[in-house]
Structure formats: structure tokens, C-alpha cells
Amino acid sequence: MAVHPVVVEGVIKSDGTLEVIDKVALPAGRVQVTVVPLPEVPADDPFWQRMQAIWDRQQASGHVPRSVEEVEAERQATRDEWEERLRGLEQIQSEGRAARPSKERGG
């Protein structure tokens, strides 16, 4: 059975306990936890100032980000469209291969 790690963020509390921020998408049972400290980004970092300005403008305009379900539905629709396109291309290739022998015989 393949094991795929799940990465979630958490917070180490002052008493040393770990609080996981996100729900962990794994079945109940034992897990191994590796804790990696995340760097603190200074409030005056130009990148984060720019990002915060964007988020503030979006919030002020009433922007509602897409849900996980909406994003996944769009991704699946894109996969389906490309699969359909691939089948169409394979059909064209198959028809081309089938037509080739008759042309080579002069027909």
C-alpha cells in the first residue's frame, strides 16, 4: 500500500502541545508527526505587504473565494475536456493510419 504524506499547518502552544489548524484527511489511527518550524515573515516584507493589499481590496469589494469543491469540480471538468480531446485526436490518428495503406496501393 502506498503511503502519501499529508501536510497541515499547526501551532506549538506555550505548554509545548501541538494544535493542528486544518482537519487531517486521514483515517483514524496512529501517525508519525514531523514538526518543521515555519519562518516568521517580517510585517514590512514587500511581498507580504503587496499580498495583504490585494486581499484587503478583494475583501472590500465583496470577493468570495471559490470553495474547495468548486475548485475540484473545475479541475475535474478540465481533465474531462482534455480526455475527450485526446480521444478525438486518437480517433483522427486511427483514421489516418487506416487510410494510409489504401493510398500506398494506389487506391
Per-residue model confidence as pLDDT tens for the chain (107 residues):
667 888 888 999 999 999 998 888 888 899 888 889 988 888 889 998 999 999 999 999 999 999 989 999 999 999 999 999 999 999 999 999 888 876 554 55
CB 10 within 8 A of CB 20: yes
Look-up of cell digits 502541545: 17
**11: β partners:** 19
**12 - beta bridge partners?**
18
Domain boundaries, the chain: 66-107
Which residue is it, cell 493510419? Answer: 97
Q: How far apart are CA 103 and CA 26, in angstroms?
A: 58
